[in-house]
Each structure stands twice: as C-alpha cells, then as structure tokens.
Amino acid sequence: MLLQNKVALITAGASGMGRAGAERFAEQGAFVYVVDRDEAATQTVVDGIKERGGQAEGIVVDVRDLEALRGVADRVEKQHGVLHVLYNNVGIPGAAGMDLSIEDWDALIEINARASFYLTNYLTEALKKADGASIIFKSSSSGLVGSPWSPLYSFTKGGLIALVRSLALALAPDKVRVNAIAPGSVETPGLPGFFRASAEEVEERKQAFFAQIPLGRASQPEEIANVALFLASDMSSYITGITIPVDGGLTAK
C-alpha cells in the first residue's frame, strides 16, 4: 500500500473531490482525518471508510474559524505527533464578474486562500517530523489561465500556485514537498452551480462547455484523487513546487 502507516488530513473531505481523496488515501493504508463543516456527511464518509477496513476520524469545523483550525492542528499533534500528508482541498466557486459584495470577497479569500495558508502553518511542525511529508493544495485550471466569469476566483486559485512555489523552497530543507493540483470541470454536486443557469439550461451549458475540452468531458472525482495519491506517496518523492493540471487538456490549448 502506498500510504501504509501514514497519517493524512484532508479538508472539505465529506463530498466530491475531498471524499474521493479521503477514500483513496484510506484504501492505500493511511489514517485519514476527514475535516468538513457538514457533520452528517463527515460521519458518513468516516463510517464508510471503517466499514471497508480503513482508518478515519472526522473533525467538524468551519475553516473560516482560525482558532478552530488551530484546534485541528493541536488534535493531530496530540493524537499522532506527526502528519505525513496535508491535502488542502477546501474551496468554493467564485461570484461572477466584478460587481462583488464585501461578503463575496471575504468568503472567497477566507475559504480559498486564508484557511489553507493558516492550517499549513499550524501543522508545519508535525509535517517536519514525518521525514518526507507532502502538502497538496487544490488550485484550479482557472488559476493557470484567465477566467472571465470570475476574476476573483482566479485570483485566489492563482495565488495558491504562487504559494506552492514559495513553500516548496522554504520547506525543502525539512524534506517537506509542496505541490498543487489544478482540476478543470469535475462531476461533483457543485458543478451545476458553475454554469449559473436554471435547471433546464444546465445540461445544455455543460455540453457546450465540455465541447471545448480536448477530451470532451468533465473529470470524475476519483481521477483527481488518483493524482492526489501520486503526490501524497513516495512515487513523487522528487517532485516539489509544481502544479499539475487535471483538466482534459483544457489549458494545453
């Protein structure tokens, strides 16, 4: 198993890409902390992992609460003393255009950028103790290319890519690798909201968008999880400071 006897933590781990990542890590032998604000969904994921013979524990928290995030880090250190994999998966879609409320701005900055930065900071000492830890940030193809539909979303996701490069250099002496995944469209419960259309129009807009993707479809959450597993494991032991697009060729054009 690729993550045997390792401890992993994933934010927004109760649905979509996060759930797929949590389940994939557990299948490969990791003890997985599933961090999410949805208590019922978190418990469902944890119960499912345990039923399949894996190890997991849920932590219910709002990532906008920095004191709560510090508590998450304290809990990990108290229970295990070390963290091998930190998967900063949490993120929300962006509000359209430039006519944004302060609430829109705050939510995107706090959830898409601030939470992952501070949680990483709080867990740095536990990661250094792993003698070869991996930090993974979930960026987006919108962080690699321009996004006319939500400039602020692109701003937060592009900022994560710059953060990854900087942290990779800062933490390399401690054998902590830092990388990012940049998904394109992914078939998750949140995908319809991306198209900002009525229920009747969503399918039509989806197909028009997918026609622009060289592989002609959205990815599945499990396909993102497989890349996360690669970055979490020793298969990528000499890779740090990079962002891997997982977008069906969208950013290759």
Residues labelled catalytic: 153
DSSP 8-state secondary structure symbol assigned to residue 48: H
3-state class (DSSP) for residue 211: coil
Longest dimension (CA), the chain: 53
* Residue 163 neighbours by CB distance under 10 Å: 19
For 35-38, the CB contacts below 8 A with 24+ separation are: 35/9, 35/10, 35/11, 35/59, 35/61, 35/63, 35/72, 36/11, 36/12, 36/60, 36/61, 37/61, 37/62, 37/63, 38/14
CA angle 155, 73, 157 (to 5 degrees): 10
Could you give the CA distance from residue 253 to residue 237 in angstroms, rounded to a whole number?
29
Measured CA to CA, the distance from residue 177 to residue 141 in angstroms comes to: 21
